[in-house]
Amino acid sequence: MIFRNQVSLTKKTNSISKDELIKNYGLNSYEFTQKNKEEIFVCSKHKELDLIELDQLLQTVGWSRRPIRRVKRALDFSILVVGLWLHDEDFPRLVGFARCTGDGILEATVWDVAVNPVYQGKGLGKELMKYILKELKNIGIYKVTLFADAEVVSFYKRQGWILEPRGSKCAFWYAN
């Protein structure tokens, strides 16, 4: 499990106005672009998610579907829910997602980190994680954990996450 305390965000090179950003994505949203690209992406913890669109996004990364009603409850009980949007004035498109659970004071756990495969490999996942950690830090949470699938461990390691030695600290219990 993981400790993390350094947060820095990539400088933006292309932008939408601050007013427009707040109007469309809410306070504390974070806008960024990729080098030499016209597309603008925005991480937002306030913009309301369409649960069908979220379901479709999570299907694109091959995850098994979960009942929408249960997903809604899970989001309601999460302490941080972040959408990563491909900006469009009229139809912003959800291309990434992550959420955190926790006590809201001391600790948090990151879940459901996903970027639409069409947009993978372009730095979006990294920006999404930076945003998550910055927002957690803003509310005073410095100890963050997550459970990574084996094939994405190095995605997190590259960003400074520390792997706990196998079998030394983690415990799992499954009801079935």
Ligand X SMILES: CC(C)(COP(=O)(O)OP(=O)(O)OC[C@H]1O[C@@H](n2cnc3c(N)ncnc32)[C@H](O)[C@@H]1OP(=O)(O)O)[C@@H](O)C(=O)NCCC(=O)NCCS
Q: Would you tell me which residues interact with ligand X (CB under 6 A)?
A: 61, 113-115, 120-126, 148-149, 151-152, 154-155, 158
* Helices (runs of H) and strands (runs of E) counted in the chain: 5, 6
Q: In angstroms, rounded to a whole number, what is the distance separating the alpha carbons of residues 129 and 4?
A: 11
For ligand X, the closer CB: 79 or 114: 114
Neighbours of 9 (CB within 10 A): 12
- Cβ 156 to ligand X, closest distance in Å? 8
Q: Can 174 be counted among the known catalytic residues?
A: no
- Cβ 114 to ligand X, closest distance in Å? 4
For ligand X, the closer CB: 103 or 149: 149
- Cβ 19 to ligand X, closest distance in Å? 28
What is the residue-wise DSSP string for 14-52?
S---HHHHHHHH-TT-EEEE-TT---EEEEESSSPPPHH
Q: Regarding beta strands 80-86 and 107-115, do their DSSP bridges make them parallel or antiparallel, or are they unpaired?
A: unpaired
What residues pair up with 86 in beta bridges, in sequence order?
41, 93
| Catalytic pick among 119, 131, 156, 174 | 156
- Cβ 17 to ligand X, closest distance in Å? 26
For ligand X, the closer CB: 22 or 39: 39
Residue nearest to ligand X (CB): 125
Q: In angstroms, rounded to a whole number, what is the distance separating the alpha carbons of residues 93 and 115?
A: 12
**Residues annotated as part of the active site:** 156
